[in-house]
Amino acid sequence: MDWVAVGLCEDVPAGTVVPRRVLGTDLAIWRSATGKFHAWGDRCPHRGMRLSHGFVRGEVLSCIYHGWQYGTDGACGYIPAHPNLTPPKTICAQTYPCNQHDDAIWVTLSGTDQPLPDVGGCRPVRSLDFAVPAADIAAWFGQSLAPVITVAAPHDLHIALQPSTDNACMVHAFAPADQDRKAVSRYLEQIRADIEEAA
Amino acid sequence: MILYDYVLSASCYKLRLMAALLGQPLTLRAVNFHPGREHKSPQMLALNPQGTLPILQDGDLVLTQSADMLRHLTRDHPDWRGADDPWLSFAADLNASLGLARLHDILCYPADIYAVRRAGVQQLRQLEAHLAEQRFDGLTFLTGSRPTIADIACFPNTALAPDGGVSLDVYPSIRLWMRAIRSLPGFIEMPGIHRLHELERPS
């Protein structure tokens, strides 16, 4: 499958983790202290707790439930209740390819040879959830579903579409630097109201 | 100053949190809200005929509205005040939607659950839009660069939305705002709102 935008880099500061859903798959997107992004299945191998409830210290994501620590390769490196145990290699979070490009975070669930999508040198505005399928938004603007669609009038936007489920998605909007971000944000709110109304 | 308090109440937590952030000592009187319904007992009704919590008693003064209590606690702290009034009213709306959804889900309160959740989502979208616009101007909090009683009034029911079946996963600006509040010196937690574990434990 192709790359999917799962958020704006500025919304995930170093040392934080956020939940995102891509095509029904729950992900924990986290950013280490040195600023590197990771996308993992949102499930601790130990007891199934959402890793997005966890916390980041340095280059390690810890599960909130029992504090199991996972390094950047997804492998469990430390179990606080068994401080002398070297965790077996089989205890590993589900990892997915994840990259930062053009102020956006990109993920692919199955790997891809496609280059990372482009947002035309625009700057990030904001992300909004829409209670409609991603394809409906592309269709609204007369386009077919793609990682990024362009909406010329009135703000010359690049819109990255993140299909979350069969009937919900996230929109990550980018606009040229000369566009007023508040005006763009209010335009997006209006578009959302119109598209959801029509659904 | 005495706060008649119930540990699971979002509105009581507003006052516990505000007092903690100000370093204002507060005497907590635990009221058996559930299952005892002690807030409807004759003694409590004598103090507050509306039969609600929280109640703040400061000498002869008895306050029964959390917005008035936040104003009272910060009367000598102008830095905690701003253009609060619209947000205190918004906080009351959150309490009627997300707050009621939560009481329905955790304490079996009667509610038109789908309607209150829908209203809660609409309010969260408003909050997200406002906080996104604040961020365009480099501002972290509801009324500016510093937290005010507006933030403290709106924070609890927002942060506890998942208790009422309303997810916060899709609101990046709300999440960053909650993080900023949880990072404030003196922040205290309540069941359902934990401190930031990535911060080193205070010695």
pLDDT at residue B197, as a whole number = 84
The nearest alpha carbon in chain B to A67 belongs to B197
> Cβ of B138 under 8 Å from any chain A Cβ?
no
Q: For chain A, what is the HEC assignment?
A: CCCEEEEEHHHCCCCEEEEEEECCEEEEEEECCCCCEEEEECCCCCCCCCHHHCEEECCEEECCCCCCEECCCCEEEECCCCCCCCCCCCCECCEECEEEECCEEEECCCCCCCCCCCCCCCEEEEEEEECCCHHHHHHHCCCCCCCEEEECCCCCEEEEEEEEECCEEEEEEEECCCCCHHHHHHHHHHHHHHHHHHC
pLDDT at residue B31, as a whole number = 98
Give the model confidence (pLDDT) of B64-119 as tens digits.
999 999 999 999 999 999 999 999 999 999 999 999 999 999 999 999 999 999 99
Average pLDDT over residues A16-33: 98
- Give me chain A's average pLDDT, please: 97
Considering only CB atoms, A55 lies closest to which of B169, B172, B197, namely B197
Evaluate if residue A77 carries a pLDDT over 70: yes
Evaluate if residue A95 carries a pLDDT over 50: yes
The nearest alpha carbon in chain B to A168 belongs to B170
Cross-chain residue pair B176–A56, CB shorter than 8 Å: no
For chain B, 203 residues long, give each residue's pLDDT as a single digit of tens.
Answer: 999 999 999 999 999 999 999 999 999 999 999 999 999 999 999 999 999 999 999 999 999 999 999 999 999 999 999 999 999 999 999 999 999 999 999 999 999 999 999 999 999 999 999 999 999 999 999 999 999 999 999 999 999 999 999 999 999 999 999 999 999 999 999 999 999 987 665 44
Contact residues, chain B, for A32 at CB < 8 Å: none
Considering only CB atoms, B132 lies closest to which of A15, A64, A126, namely A126
Q: Percent of chain A beyond pLDDT 90?
A: 98
> Cβ of B24 under 8 Å from any chain A Cβ?
no
Evaluate if residue A52 carries a pLDDT over 50: yes
pLDDT at residue B188, as a whole number = 97
Write down the pTM of the prediction: 0.97
